[in-house]
Structure 1
């Protein structure tokens, strides 16, 4: 049996990452999966409710992904590489960008409740990155100017921009940014 709510969320996620939140409507979802508008409204009475459910879904998948990276990799460099690979997967998944990046670009037009959840997801990722960077700096395997929190912001922002560049100009843009981020954290001898 088809779980309509999940099907609606998956379709909305595809539209969000390939277009933007404000660039799709319930009609787009209806046309893609062949359901009536009341079916969508049954699960998500407003588009803001759908958007919030999407962000909540991304928060959960982010927690699972980062915990998986932590469990698989003990060394800070390996964890950073795991994060880079996770982000590369978005780029390679068919002309998509990270949902955080697309929603941040639309920050001024999305509802307040979506903004709060989006900020939580962004801060969660940056806190994870800062912890990894602090571990790398403490063990002497990573070097970078400033505080780990500041460098985490730099990495996260650079990757968001690189995903958008890659969508417009090809994967080489993304790999170049990743290469530069790595170089910027290498211990200078």
Structure 2
């Protein structure tokens, strides 16, 4: 296998471990064992676990941006609900949570560079939600009495929180129930 394939495989395995165990719950040795190389070989790809963590955040952001681009012509509410479907898919895969949610739980223990990248990703996702909410309001699909910025923050917070609760209760349907409640919250009621 080529060096770039091993690098990509290490990122994917690291992300899987992150989503199940948290950033402090796995080591380079764990990744090396999973991809079938010696631990020192990982240092040919990443100078440190911090560098791997930064790459995992960047990788997840690219994945999310590509997903958002593929769905940008979907109905606005479908795009918002799609975020919760992603969370539900993670949860059904060995009780995982999204990488940003996993990292945010360990925020104070992360290197400063990872904190910044994590904050940037969360801000990007919040801005994406804000844009969708504003467009939905402008088009008359969503309630006009909601504050768009506060609503985006609330939806993002619900997304992060429900993943932890679904994991705690081993109940992925909780994520879908929150998705449905967001629909009810946003939809403009026609008399």
What TM-score do you get using the length of structure 1 for normalisation? 0.92
Question: How big is each residue's C-alpha offset from its partner over 1:125-171, in whole Å with a ceiling of 9 and x where there is no partner?
Answer: 11111111001111111116542121111111101111111122111
Question: How big is each residue's C-alpha offset from its partner over 1:42-66, in whole Å with a ceiling of 9 and x where there is no partner?
Answer: 1111110110111111111111011
Equivalent residue for 2:61?
59
Q: Distance in 1 between matches of 2:78 and 2:178?
A: 18
Q: Distance in 2 between matches of 1:180 and 1:107?
A: 28
Q: Is the Cα–Cα contact under 8 Å of residues 69 and 83 in structure 1 kept in the other structure? A: no
Q: Distance in 2 between matches of 1:96 and 1:135?
A: 31
Larger relative contact order (Cα-Cα within 8 Å, sequence gap ≥ 6): 2
Aligned pair count? Answer: 187
Unmatched runs of 5 consecutive residues or more in structure 1: none
What TM-score do you get using the length of structure 2 for normalisation? 0.91
Equivalent residue for 1:48?
50
1:119-138 matches, within 5 Å, as 119-138=119-138
Equivalent residue for 1:95?
95
1:74-93 matches, within 5 Å, as 75-93=75-93
Q: CA RMSD in A?
A: 1.5
Question: How big is each residue's C-alpha offset from its partner over 1:112-136, in whole Å with a ceiling of 9 and x where there is no partner?
Answer: 1111111111111111111110011
Aligned to 1:102, the other structure's residue is in SS state helix
Aligned to 1:140, the other structure's residue is in SS state coil
Q: Distance in 2 between matches of 1:70 and 1:86?
A: 15
Q: Is the Cα–Cα contact under 8 Å of residues 19 and 97 in structure 2 kept in the other structure? A: yes
- The offset of 1:93, in angstroms, is 2.5
Aligned to 1:42, the other structure's residue is in SS state coil
Q: Is the Cα–Cα contact under 8 Å of residues 144 and 151 in structure 1 kept in the other structure? A: no
Equivalent residue for 1:162?
162
